[in-house]
Chains A and B, each alone.
Chain A
Amino acid sequence: DVKVTQSSRYLVKRTGEKVFLECVQDMDHENMFWYRQDPGLGLRLIYFSYDVKMKEKGDIPEGYSVSREKKERFSLILESASTNQTSMYLCATVAGGYYEQYFGPGTRLTVT
């Protein structure tokens, strides 16, 4: 079974703080993704990565950056957290050449 883990289930941060959300997968998948999920808006793609040190912008990259130093680990960075970044953040992976995305359990981030 594919396992995707996220560093925290719940996180509370203050406005202006730098926030790191980490995702780790154990299946040697090439592709990794960060989505945010908001009520009534569904899931929206923030950034994705095809391989180590590679990154691509998704549909809503503003205010975020990412880092992929190792194949199994994909980090989402909020350089200066703002209240409108309060959301559920979901990480996903997919094997190269395949379609099915496997999701982690999510991190619910609250910025006060």
Chain B
Amino acid sequence: GENVEQHPSTLSVQEGDSAVIKCTYSDSASNYFPWYKQELGKGPQLIIDIRSNVGEKKDQRIAVTLNKTAKHFSLHITETQPEDSAVYFCAATPRAGGGADGLTFGKGTHLIIQP
């Protein structure tokens, strides 16, 4: 089955700096790569996603890049703010069935924004 590795497990950055979280996946059939943000006491919330026919996608301060050849994708957050502090998860589809077949998640990155 699919295996998703996520690094780093903890990331501390100064407010205003950029943060980058990286993930690799194993199944070349995976075609959907979402990123979720989980705040304390809440369920994960989708913040951005990318499909295998796109190399990069941007939404205001966040962007995701995908390299299908190398099987890795990354989350970039620019101009970080205190409210960006949370746990971030990457995920991939284990099969070509898309979201209907469930997601395989990375182990998460605890992002800490230092004032």
Q: Which A positions have Cβ atoms within 8 angstroms of B?
A: 4, 30-31, 33, 35, 40-45, 48, 50, 56, 58-59, 90, 92, 94, 96-106
Whether A31 pairs with B100 at a CB distance below 8 angstroms is: yes
Whether A42 pairs with B49 at a CB distance below 8 angstroms is: no
Whether B42 pairs with A105 at a CB distance below 8 angstroms is: yes
- Counting CB contacts under 8 A, is B13 at the interface? no
Interface contacts (Cβ under 8 Å), in number, total: 66
Q: Contacting A42 at CB < 8 Å: which of B46, B98, B107?
A: B107
Would you give the shortest CB distance from A30 to chain B, in whole angstroms? 8
Bound together, the chains give a CA A58 to CA B100 distance in angstroms of 12
Whether B102 pairs with A33 at a CB distance below 8 angstroms is: yes
Bound together, the chains give a CA A90 to CA B89 distance in angstroms of 14
**Residues from chain A with Cβ under 8 Å of B44 in the complex:** 43, 90, 103
**Residues from chain A with Cβ under 8 Å of B9 in the complex:** 40
Instruction: From known contacts A42-B108, A99-B34, A100-B49, infer whether A94 and B100 are also in contact, taking CB-CB under 8 Å.
Output: yes
Could you show 14 A-B contacts with beta carbons less than 8 Å apart? Answer: A31-B100, A40-B9, A42-B6, A42-B106, A43-B89, A45-B102, A45-B103, A56-B101, A58-B102, A59-B1, A90-B43, A101-B34, A102-B46, A106-B42
Count of interface residues, chain B, beta-carbon cutoff 8 Å: 28
| Interface core residue of B32, B46, B99, B104 (most chain A CB under 10 Å) | B99
B1-40 vs A, Cβ < 8 Å mask (1 yes, 0 no): 1000010010000000000000000000000101010000
- Counting CB contacts under 8 A, is B73 at the interface? no
Which residue of chain A has the shortest Cβ distance to B107 in the bound complex?
A: A42
Bound together, the chains give a CA A42 to CA B107 distance in angstroms of 4
Would you give the shortest CB distance from B3 to chain A, in whole angstroms? 10
Whether A59 pairs with B49 at a CB distance below 8 angstroms is: no
Q: Contacting B107 at CB < 8 Å: which of A41, A59, A105?
A: A41
Whether B34 pairs with A48 at a CB distance below 8 angstroms is: no
Bound together, the chains give a CA A48 to CA B99 distance in angstroms of 11
**Residues from chain B with Cβ under 8 Å of A103 in the complex:** 36, 43-45
Bound together, the chains give a CA A33 to CA B99 distance in angstroms of 10
